[in-house]
Amino acid sequence: MHFPRFSPLLRYLLDLCYIHRIYMEHFDRITRNPAVMGGKPCIRGMRVTVGMIINQIGAGHSIEEILANYPYLEHEDILQALQYAAWRVEEREIALAPA
């Protein structure tokens, strides 16, 4: 069976379509709008970025503490922000300098 060879540009565009489909299916609480926080990934269109939530977790705050400090957030918002961040980190490989 012969499979067509795709040009690098077509392969890139197909990859983008796949990434967009995954994003739309799994991250329904994560929004990106150039008019809100400069297009950074936000929670449900609010001015709360995924990065802010990740920073709060990294600083040692529990999900319960974040929810108490931001009562307009929901538990699923925090979980989806963590899942989104994990997905984005796995999406790319970055070459690190040897130690």
Residue 36: inside a domain: yes
Mean pLDDT of the chain: 83
pTM of the full structure = 0.69
Q: Which domain holds residue 54?
A: 29-91
- Does residue 21 form part of some domain? no
Q: What CATH number corresponds to the domain at position 44?
A: 1.10.10.10
| Predicted local distance difference test score (pLDDT) of residue 1 | 47
3-state secondary structure of 94: coil
Give domain status of residue 60, yes or no. Answer: yes
- The backbone torsions φ and ψ at residue 36, rounded to the nearest 5 degrees and listed phi first, read -120, 115
Q: What is the pLDDT of residue 14?
A: 67
* 5, pLDDT greater than 50: yes
Q: Is the pLDDT of residue 52 over 60?
A: yes
In the chain, where do the E strands start and end? 30-31, 42-43
Q: Is 98 within the bounds of a domain? A: no
In the chain, the number of structural domains is 1
68 is a domain residue: yes
Contact 86, 32 (CB under 8 A): no
Average pLDDT over residues 50-65: 96
In a domain, 7, yes or no: no
* Residues whose CB falls within 8 Å of the CB of residue 66, separated by 6 or more in sequence, listed in order: 53, 56, 57, 73, 78
Confidence at residue 94, expressed as pLDDT on a 0 to 100 scale: 59
